[in-house]
């Protein structure tokens, strides 16, 4: 996999090299040479997750690409749709919808909050609309009806027929550009609307400023800054048409005002002693649309290519001309697919079509972010808002760390190891550039959103380092971890340090924060220990025990505690309230959040039996909507277990810690059968930038990183007959599930490289060295395997 | 002058060198050593022009400084004051006002349109206000009453007592920083309000975006982008207090919205599963004020220093720490004064106190712009919006060229010759960075406003080159001139080229545009000829005759003409209407706008006698307000002559062209006596970034550049007994007016370096070589001197 990927790695990393490569080499021929190679892209269905609350997008993207060119089906930034709709449309598109408003160039994959949707482009014929119109009355705007029957998506490619206009729209991308192909099959007159006001966010005044300039009759440059989830996010665009437009309209609703420099009365249209150059095609304001007209749109397909940059117009243009020097849509599409084919070859799998569709689509979703956030010349915008240049690493953005530290980042150490050090370096420059001396929390596009809790970047760094991915400055990393974990201005850290827990009378979400800090501290301890900094390690191992301070033995639950040591009198372990002691969860779920020290948690709860019972209660006690109504994110329920949200993700594996691996095996199958499918609504909740997908991939293989940083994977049960991980250095780690069937969901025995495995976990070394992990499956549980204390997954205090 | 200025030149140009210089050298001692040196700063009264419609500001600035730290007396950006008030307050301050709202860091000097007013700071005591309040009820806001009795201003220094708070506020500056000193004499508790919404512009929603971040308890960083005359202008600020504040409030009126990242309802203040770090003191939005509290404000004066940058926060901080490394207000004030002392030594003058006050204040106003627009590290924002770095020249902004090409730029070739090539290079990079392939028209702060007409940058470049100031790329300059003058997208150029004039049915201001293009073309011809490009020169000499195409011999006036050749049927030579054929003027004035070819104009009008009569009519025929009511700029009237606006500035000198220099001598004295004084309302109209001041300086010396680019100066009459220009290479050019008195306003004879001068003009070489120009003055006109055709100023077609 590594060798095959190399040609495309160069494309991302070396701009000029890429030009030579694209222009000078007959790449289609190269692709032909690789024809024999397996093609896992056929198993990817980008529509999985676009229904329900998966929040994925169906459009075109390359692995870790800066551009996600995808259809949008809701006009959210205008306040046209009610609040309720924004959560449904975090990715711009929802499978339930019947109209498309256009194609925009940036999208989150699977988030629970929204932003992006930059530069919406929509082709049309006939009457020109400059507003999107409504889903109920599509003819009132530029949007078009469409049908899933005439819609296709595959890695690097999206196609839809816009029924209202008889236009076939196709999309593909490179890392930093989007390429549109519009085939007009209806009327002769065609036009392309570019709506700079369109955006994904629940705020109609999201656009802070924008401008557009006509460079020539095929080229535009545009800018927009928005106030969304990220405040004052800046994006520059270079737009080129494959042939000259016959005329262009720059429509500025602020026109009267901005056209009249000298007017003291904004309403007047006269121009006292002041010339506004009408012939110079530039406009700026907050409400800009551009319409390019093509009198004979039918003569040939019209292509539009768009380069993006967060740095400058000139960089957007350089990105465009470097990555898309010509107009060969099919070649670009083929190269995008080729990048995916190489990347998806990291896993070989056997299974049903539905299983392979789920697995490879999960892998596809897992390889989208963190995404490139750097121009071909090396420049990028830092979290300080300033322009920096990285010469020795690729700069990435989009760290949804509360979600992705759990399984996505551990997965990337196997499926994209060559990216991991660069992602860590990107987090370290974030720390260096942060005025707050902080590693990223939930950051994207040069902004820290301070969303969610914890400081989970430390887990990602520790896990990678301990696995031997070390191409970054270790001392800097330790300093960054310590500055972050001791930051007197960040969230609940002062209270956490002072009290050993976060008092509920001081801050909300106090219990969840305490628990997550404690886990994060465990990973800092592990990292410091590996660097030989034992004193620091000891301190953080001590902090890692802080979870004990919010455990109330009188009720056997994690429970809010005030600064005087009093327990929350209104305690209800099922309740998940905004501003309560838990983060998008309740005490049933969060009581299990001691991933690094499960054996100690079991003792607190009262031993293996009590622990198992509590797990059973979690999975069996119905959770009424009333208790969680304030949270959209708590979804995918099995009892109190919410598969659709991250605090639950590790819990099914904790039967292992109580010596009951067969119960884990049952639960994993139960989750797989009831909360996961290969349909658009096949995700039980937000994919959360690949975390849900990473859960699926690990769990399908039969193991899961319950506590990243301890280098172990708790064994669940394989869900496909055979999955091989093609690792670096030509190693392969293969998981075989002999006898796997609907009935045979239990593990009879496990064999690693020919030796019986007694423990209910494997280690990173087991995987990294390559080999074969063979499961004998059965319809009857093996109740002794993995039950002995010494065979259970590692626990810090043990 | 050149030698003395050198130490301060280094300060502007070399950041690190400056630090060494400021810190390491006992500069106060240096100043003491120079004690014997003459000090012309005593003659500068920064209040001249702050009354009437002069539109100058009284605050602190260093020569060509980026920062103009000055009091503002009107809260214009809030829409508090009516439209009428904005014109009066283009410089933020008006001498008529009785309250001060605070001190902001950027101001135009003398413009007729408004912008800037960046980062208003106001100290106070007692109740904290976050709105300025009104002039009528100052107690309703943070503004304070003040009296001119307790107000002082001198070059580089401003002081006022804020009566409502018993605070003495003092201001001084370096090139890129402002330094405030507040002495609290009243209550013990003090505070400083920083209002990021305050601005100078008639639009209450001027602020597009802003943010502020507390770095530590003495340091803030802030940003703001505004939509004013310049669209989306960006400014960064680094703010430091001389001692820690006891607490700070970041007040954001958009607070509910921006404090709640995860809230889907903007009105809610809860925070679902989303942490906003209250301890991290940062806020962003459109309505931000900051209040720093000092519990014991009286303990010592409080200093505030502010660094500005158009590039980045880090550059703002670097500018601040480089130029203001410590807290020595008196030293900074002394150095600012020293810079002015050096610069003002370029002129030695004898005369009454009032005359010297007018002369040196004019020189002070003439040495403020174009102003530095570049950080100490060389970076600056270009007109393309991108960040550039200039290593081999100082980058300047603020080209009010329709005004300043006339006399200010010619004056700078003598009084600041070391700056001129850099200013030209700044115009050339503007051309290179302009997406429109244009030299600047009326540009400032990385924006082209497209205000006013013509392309007068060509005149500035040609004049400087022909005078031997040539440290720029001449070929590039010619290309820039040609691209500008032939630009198919700029204003009326296509029509001008097609018809030989601008048809009034195609564009407004058609006659003025035609006339000014024709003059500009003369300067291009002169420049091309000097470069040996005779073919280009011939073409532009031909274009320079285009003025003939809008002269209607049937009425003897310049007159609107349509594209079919028909004359304006509604012609009224007195009328100055918006959207009419003239720009801020009427045909009486613009008929004289053939500065480069006066003899040919005289022929058109009917000979010397008719020309003289027309001049007399201009100066004697009353102009009713009804005719000019649409223009605020047409001010300072003597008949139809409007000294307050630029189209008239050269006209009094045109009696010379008709062989009647004594009539010019009368008119100059008349203008001086009636339209100029050393009082706050001593300017007859906007100073227009030094143009009015340059008119005064030249005219006081006895000559004026009627047609920059022809290297000649039409002789008027000296108004002071003796003025010496201290030129480069230790040359001095001295003008003596023997026998000058109230009655002796006429020239009896002129002597240049001991030889009688018969011609009514001098040349650049006469000045540049140094020497003595001696006038014998008389109470009787010498009607023969200068009357012969060969003694009249040069005329292109002669």
Residue B188: count of CB within 10 angstroms of its CB: 12
Residue B36: predicted pLDDT:
56
Cβ atoms of residues B258 and B282 within 8 Å: no
Where does a domain end: A289, A323, A343?
A343
The partner residue sitting opposite B630, judged by closest CB among A272, A436, A491, is: A272
Q: How far apart are CA A566 and CA B220, in angstroms?
A: 40
- CB within 8 Å of B527: residues ≥ 6 apart: B458, B461, B462, B465, B466, B477, B478, B481, B709
Cβ atoms of residues B260 and B275 within 8 Å: no
Helix intervals (H) in A196-299: 255-258
Q: How far is A377 from chain B (nearest CA, A)?
A: 15
Is A699 inside any structural domain?
yes
Average the pLDDT over B494-520 and give the result. Answer: 96
Q: What are the beta bridge partners of residue B556?
A: none
Q: How far apart are CA B509 and CA A275, in angstroms?
A: 9
Q: Tell me the per-residue pLDDT of A304-333, one tens digit each, with 9 for 90 and over.
A: 999 999 999 999 999 999 999 999 999 999
Chain B residue numbers with beta carbons less than 8 Å from the beta carbon of A384 are: 313-314
Report the residue of chain B nearest A221, measured CA to CA.
B435
Residue B705: predicted pLDDT:
98
Sheet order of strands, B712-715 included: B703-704, B712-715, B761-763
Q: How far apart are CA B364 and CA B488, in angstroms?
A: 39
B264 to A86: CB separation less than 8 angstroms, yes or no:
yes
Is A727 inside any structural domain?
yes
Chain A residue numbers with beta carbons less than 8 Å from the beta carbon of B386 are: 312-314
Q: How far is A272 from chain B (nearest CA, A)?
A: 5
Residue B663 pLDDT class (50, 70, 90 cuts): very high
Q: Which has the closest alpha carbon to B647: B580, B597, B582?
A: B582
Chain B residue numbers with beta carbons less than 8 Å from the beta carbon of A265 are: 83
Is A108 inside any structural domain?
yes
Q: How far is A617 from chain B (nearest CA, A)?
A: 25
Chain A residue numbers with beta carbons less than 8 Å from the beta carbon of B265 are: 83
Report the residue of chain B nearest A509, measured CA to CA.
B273
B208 to A203: CB separation less than 8 angstroms, yes or no:
no
Is the pLDDT score of B635 beyond 90?
no
Q: Tell me the per-residue pLDDT of B155-168, one tens digit each, with 9 for 90 and over.
A: 999 999 999 999 99
Cβ atoms of residues A333 and A169 within 8 Å: no
Q: What percent of chain A has pLDDT over 70?
A: 91
- CB within 8 Å of A674: residues ≥ 6 apart: A638
Is the pLDDT score of A30 beyond 70?
no
What is the per-residue DSSP string for A445-494?
A: TTEE--BSSS-THHHHHHHHHHTT---S-HHHHHHHHHHHHT-TTSTTHH
Tokens found for residue B573: 């030579």
Residue A265: predicted pLDDT:
33
Report the residue of chain B nearest A455, measured CA to CA.
B275
The chain-wide mean pLDDT, for chain B, equals 91
Q: How far is B18 from chain A (nearest CA, A)?
A: 25
- Pick A275 or A550 by higher pLDDT: A550
- CB within 8 Å of A794: residues ≥ 6 apart: A707, A710, A712, A761
Q: Tell me the per-residue pLDDT of A79-128, one tens digit each, with 9 for 90 and over.
A: 444 555 888 999 999 999 999 999 999 999 999 999 999 999 999 999 99
Residue A35: count of CB within 10 angstroms of its CB: 7
Is B355 inside any structural domain?
no
The partner residue sitting opposite B209, judged by closest CB among A225, A435, A490, is: A225
Shared domain for A46 and A194, answered yes or no, is yes
Residue A6: predicted pLDDT:
35
Looking up tokens 């300067």 gives: B523
Q: How far apart are CA A590 and CA B365, in angstroms?
A: 70
pTM over 0.90: yes
Q: Which of A89, A252, A266, A275 to mutate to test the interface with B (most CBs of B within 10 A)?
A: A275
Tokens found for residue B296: 């014991």
Q: 3-state SS string over B393-435?
A: CCCEECEEHHHHCCCHHHHHHHHCHHHHHHHHHHHHHHHHHCC
B202 to A264: CB separation less than 8 angstroms, yes or no:
yes
Is the pLDDT score of A631 beyond 70?
yes
The partner residue sitting opposite B261, judged by closest CB among A223, A282, A450, is: A450
Chain A residue numbers with beta carbons less than 8 Å from the beta carbon of B82 are: none
Q: How far apart are CA A283 and CA B120, in angstroms?
A: 29
Q: Which helix (H) or strand (E) holds B466?
A: helix B457-466
Measured on CA atoms in the order B418, B422, B424, B427, is the torsion positive or negative? Answer: negative
B274 to A384: CB separation less than 8 angstroms, yes or no:
no
Residue B76: predicted pLDDT:
64
Residues in chain A: 798
Average the pLDDT over A199-226 and give the result. Answer: 92
Is B446 inside any structural domain?
no
Domain hosting B196: range is 2-252+289-343
Residue A24 pLDDT class (50, 70, 90 cuts): very low
Is A574 inside any structural domain?
no
Q: How far is B15 from chain A (nearest CA, A)?
A: 21
Q: How far apart are CA A373 and CA B374, in angstroms?
A: 28
- CB within 8 Å of B581: residues ≥ 6 apart: B504, B508, B509, B510, B511, B512, B559, B560, B568, B587
Residue A548: predicted pLDDT:
98
The chain-wide mean pLDDT, for chain A, equals 91
ipTM: 0.91
- CB within 8 Å of A235: residues ≥ 6 apart: A106, A118, A119, A223, A224, A225, A226, A308, A309, A310
Categorise residue B273: left if φ over 0, alpha if ψ from -120 to 50, beta otherwise: left
CATH assignment at residue B308: 2.70.98.10
Chain A residue numbers with beta carbons less than 8 Å from the beta carbon of B584 are: 272-273
Average the pLDDT over B381-385 and give the result. Answer: 97
Shared domain for A254 and A275, answered yes or no, is yes
The partner residue sitting opposite B491, judged by closest CB among A209, A225, A275, is: A275
Check residue A794 and report its DSSP letter. P
Average the pLDDT over B198-219 and give the result. Answer: 90
A277 to B490: CB separation less than 8 angstroms, yes or no:
yes
Is the pLDDT score of B81 beyond 70?
no
Average the pLDDT over B234-261 and give the result. Answer: 80
Shared domain for A215 and A338, answered yes or no, is yes
> What separation in angstroms does the CA of B103 have from each of B89, B115, B306?
14, 15, 11
B213 to A435: CB separation less than 8 angstroms, yes or no:
yes
Residue B591 pLDDT class (50, 70, 90 cuts): very high
Q: How far apart are CA A232 and CA A230, in angstroms?
A: 6
Chain B residue numbers with beta carbons less than 8 Å from the beta carbon of A271 are: 508, 578-579
Chain B residue numbers with beta carbons less than 8 Å from the beta carbon of A631 are: 272-273
Beta strands in B51-206 (DSSP E): 70-72, 99-100, 102-104, 120-125, 144-145, 151-154, 157-162, 167-173, 177-184, 190-195
A83 to B208: CB separation less than 8 angstroms, yes or no:
no
Residue A76 pLDDT class (50, 70, 90 cuts): low
Q: How far is B637 from chain A (nearest CA, A)?
A: 19
Chain A residue numbers with beta carbons less than 8 Å from the beta carbon of B113 are: 261-262, 274
Q: Which of B275, B441, B493, B635 to mutate to test the interface with A (most CBs of A within 10 A)?
A: B275
Shared domain for A242 and A316, answered yes or no, is yes
Residue A262 pLDDT class (50, 70, 90 cuts): very low
A221 to B435: CB separation less than 8 angstroms, yes or no:
yes
Is the pLDDT score of A585 beyond 90?
yes
The partner residue sitting opposite B450, judged by closest CB among A215, A261, A453, is: A261
Helix-helix angle A691-701:A408-415, to 10 degrees: 70
Shared domain for A276 and A389, answered yes or no, is no
Q: What are the beta bridge partners of residue B159?
A: B152, B170
A274 to B450: CB separation less than 8 angstroms, yes or no:
yes
Is the pLDDT score of B204 beyond 80?
no
Q: How far is A270 from chain B (nearest CA, A)?
A: 7
Q: Which of A227, A273, A646 to mutate to test the interface with B (most CBs of B within 10 A)?
A: A273
Residue B34: predicted pLDDT:
45
Is A634 inside any structural domain?
no
Chain A residue numbers with beta carbons less than 8 Å from the beta carbon of B213 are: 435
Beta strands in A286-377 (DSSP E): 288-294, 302-309, 347-350, 371-372
The partner residue sitting opposite B277, judged by closest CB among A273, A384, A489, is: A489
Average the pLDDT over B687-699 and give the result. Answer: 98
Is the pLDDT score of B223 beyond 80?
yes
Average the pLDDT over B396-407 and give the result. Answer: 98
Chain B residue numbers with beta carbons less than 8 Å from the beta carbon of A208 are: 208-209
CATH assignment at residue A526: 3.30.2080.10
Shared domain for A137 and A238, answered yes or no, is yes
A451 to B633: CB separation less than 8 angstroms, yes or no:
no
Chain B residue numbers with beta carbons less than 8 Å from the beta carbon of A509 are: 273, 275
Query: How many Cβ contacts (< 8 angstroms) between chains A and B?
Result: 169
Q: How far apart are CA A629 and CA A633, in angstroms?
A: 10
Where does a domain end: A300, A317, A343?
A343
What is the per-residue DSSP string for A7-36?
A: HHHHHHH-HHHHHIIIIIS-HHHHHHHTTT
Residue A252: predicted pLDDT:
87
Residue B1: predicted pLDDT:
28
Where does a domain end: A343, A374, A397?
A343
Residue B277: predicted pLDDT:
58
Q: Tell me the per-residue pLDDT of A48-75, one tens digit each, with 9 for 90 and over.
A: 999 999 999 999 999 999 999 999 998 7
Q: How far apart are CA A559 and CA B324, in angstroms?
A: 54
Helix-helix angle B313-323:B15-24, to 10 degrees: 30
Q: Coil, strand, or helix at residue B758? A: coil
Q: Tell me the per-residue pLDDT of B84-113, one tens digit each, with 9 for 90 and over.
A: 588 899 999 999 999 999 999 999 999 999
Shared domain for A455 and A322, answered yes or no, is no
Q: How far is B432 from chain A (nearest CA, A)?
A: 13
- For chain A, how many structural domains are there in total? 2
Q: How far apart are CA A397 and CA A389, in angstroms?
A: 14
Q: How far is B330 from chain A (nearest CA, A)?
A: 33
Is A749 inside any structural domain?
yes
Average the pLDDT over B397-424 and give the result. Answer: 98
The partner residue sitting opposite B262, judged by closest CB among A274, A312, A451, is: A451
Shared domain for A234 and A371, answered yes or no, is no
Chain A residue numbers with beta carbons less than 8 Å from the beta carbon of B266 are: 203
Residue A282: count of CB within 10 angstroms of its CB: 18
Chain A residue numbers with beta carbons less than 8 Å from the beta carbon of B202 are: 264
Shared domain for A310 and A369, answered yes or no, is no
Is the pLDDT score of A688 beyond 70?
yes
What is the per-residue DSSP string for B87-116?
A: HHTTTS--TT--EE-EEES---SS-SS---
Residue A635: predicted pLDDT:
85
Chain A residue numbers with beta carbons less than 8 Å from the beta carbon of B277 are: 436, 450, 489-491
Q: How far apart are CA B363 and CA B563, in angstroms?
A: 45
Is the pLDDT score of B601 beyond 50?
yes
Q: How far apart are CA B613 and CA B653, in angstroms?
A: 14
> What separation in angstroms does the CA of A538 have from each of A517, A521, A528, A789?
16, 10, 9, 25
Q: Which has the closest alpha carbon to A401: A343, A445, A461, A361?
A: A461
The partner residue sitting opposite A579, judged by closest CB among B270, B314, B435, is: B270
Q: How far apart are CA B593 and CA B603, in angstroms?
A: 14
Shared domain for A398 and A543, answered yes or no, is yes
Measured on CA atoms in the order A100, A106, A107, A113, is the torsion positive or negative? Answer: negative
Categorise residue B454: left if φ over 0, alpha if ψ from -120 to 50, beta otherwise: left
Is the pLDDT score of B83 beyond 60?
no
Residue B452: alpha-carbon gap to chain centroid? 15
Is the pLDDT score of B266 beyond 50?
no
Q: How far apart are CA A192 and CA A303, in angstroms?
A: 11
B232 to A211: CB separation less than 8 angstroms, yes or no:
yes
Looking up tokens 């009327």 gives: A187
């Amino acid at each position: 996999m590594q060798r095959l990927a190399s040609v495309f790695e160069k494309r991302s990393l070396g701009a000029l090299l890429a030009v030579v490569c694209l222009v000078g080499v007959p790449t289609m021929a190269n692709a032909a040479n690789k024809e024999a190679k397996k093609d896992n892209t056929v198993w990817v269905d980008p529509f999985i997750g676009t229904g329900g609350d998966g929040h994925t997008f169906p459009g075109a993207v390359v692995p870790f690409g800066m551009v996600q060119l995808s259809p949008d089906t809701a006009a959210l930034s205008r306040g046209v749709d009610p609040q309720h709709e924004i959560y449904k449309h975090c990715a711009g598109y929802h499978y339930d919808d019947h109209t498309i408003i256009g194609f925009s160039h940036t999208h989150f994959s699977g988030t629970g909050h929204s932003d992006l949707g930059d530069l919406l482009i929509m082709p049309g014929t006939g009457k020109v609309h400059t507003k999107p119109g409504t889903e109920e009355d599509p003819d009132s705007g530029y949007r078009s009806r469409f049908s899933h029957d005439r819609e296709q998506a595959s890695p690097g490619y999206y196609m839809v027929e816009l029924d209202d206009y008889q236009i076939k729209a196709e999309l593909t991308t490179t890392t930093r550009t989007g390429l549109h192909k519009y085939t007009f099959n209806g009327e002769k007159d065609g036009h392309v609307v570019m709506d700079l006001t369109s955006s994904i966010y629940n705020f109609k005044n999201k656009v802070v400023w924008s401008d557009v300039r006509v460079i020539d009759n095929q080229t535009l440059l545009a800018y927009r800054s928005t106030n969304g989830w990220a405040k004052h996010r800046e994006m520059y665009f270079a737009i080129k048409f494959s042939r000259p437009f016959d005329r262009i309209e720059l429509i500025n609703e602020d026109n009267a005002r901005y056209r009249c420099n000298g007017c003291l009365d904004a309403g007047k249209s006269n121009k006292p002693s002041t010339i506004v150059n009408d012939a110079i095609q530039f406009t700026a304001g907050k409400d800009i649309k551009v319409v390019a007209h093509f009198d004979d749109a039918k003569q040939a397909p019209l292509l539009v290519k768009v380069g993006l940059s967060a740095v400058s117009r000139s960089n957007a243009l350089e990105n465009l001309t470097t990555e898309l020097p010509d107009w060969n849509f099919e070649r670009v599409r083929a190269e995008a697919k080729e990048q995916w084919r190489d990347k998806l070859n990291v896993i070989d799998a056997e299974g049903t079509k539905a299983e392979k569709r789920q697995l490879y689509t999960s892998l596809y979703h897992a390889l989208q972010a963190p995404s490139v956030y750097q121009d071909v010349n090396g420049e990028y915008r830092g979290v300080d808002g300033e322009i920096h240049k990285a010469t020795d690493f690729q700069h990435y953005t989009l760290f949804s760390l509360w979600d992705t530290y759990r399984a996505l980042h551990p997965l990337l150490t196997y499926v994209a190891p060559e990216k991991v050090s660069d992602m860590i370096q990107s987090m370290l420059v974030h720390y260096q550039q942060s005025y707050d001396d902080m590693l990223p929390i939930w950051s994207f596009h040069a902004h820290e959103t301070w969303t969610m809790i914890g400081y989970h970047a430390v887990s990602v760094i520790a896990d990678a380092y301990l696995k031997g991915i070390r191409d970054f400055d270790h001392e800097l990393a330790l300093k960054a971890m310590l500055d972050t974990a001791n930051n007197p201005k960040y969230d609940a850290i002062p209270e956490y340090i002072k009290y050993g827990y976060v008092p509920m009378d001081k801050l909300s979400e106090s219990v969840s924060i305490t628990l997550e800090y404690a886990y994060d501290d465990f990973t800092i301890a592990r990292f410091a220990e590996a660097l030989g900094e034992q004193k620091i390690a000891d301190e953080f191992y001590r902090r890692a025990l802080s979870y004990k301070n919010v455990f109330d033995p009188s009720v056997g639950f994690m429970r809010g505690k005030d600064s005087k040591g009093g327990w929350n009198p209104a305690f209800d372990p099922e309740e998940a309230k905004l501003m309560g002691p838990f983060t998008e969860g309740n005490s049933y779920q969060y009581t299990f959040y001691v991933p690094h020290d499960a054996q100690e948690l079991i003792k607190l709860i009262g031993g293996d039996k009590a622990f198992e019972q509590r797990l059973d209660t979690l999975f069996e006690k119905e959770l009424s909507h009333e208790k969680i109504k304030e949270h959209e994110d708590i979804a995918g329920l099995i009892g109190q277990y919410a598969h659709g949200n991250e605090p639950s993700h590790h819990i099914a594996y904790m039967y292992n810690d109580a010596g009951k691996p067969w119960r884990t095996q049952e639960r994993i199958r139960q989750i797989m059968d009831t909360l996961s499918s290969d349909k658009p609504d096949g995700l039980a909740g937000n994919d959360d930038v690949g975390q849900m997908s990473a859960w699926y991939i690990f769990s399908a293989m039969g193991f899961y990183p319950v506590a990243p940083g301890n280098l172990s994977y708790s064994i669940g049960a394989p869900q496909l007959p055979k999955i091989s991980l093609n690792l670096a250095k030509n190693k392969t780690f293969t998981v075989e599930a002999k006898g796997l069937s609907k009935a045979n969901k239990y593990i009879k025995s496990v064999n690693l490289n020919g030796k019986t495995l007694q423990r209910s976990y494997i280690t990173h070394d087991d995987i990294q060295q390559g080999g074969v992990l063979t499961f004998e499956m059965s319809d009857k549980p093996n109740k002794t395997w993995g039950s002995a204390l010494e065979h259970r997954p590692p626990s810090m205090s043990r």
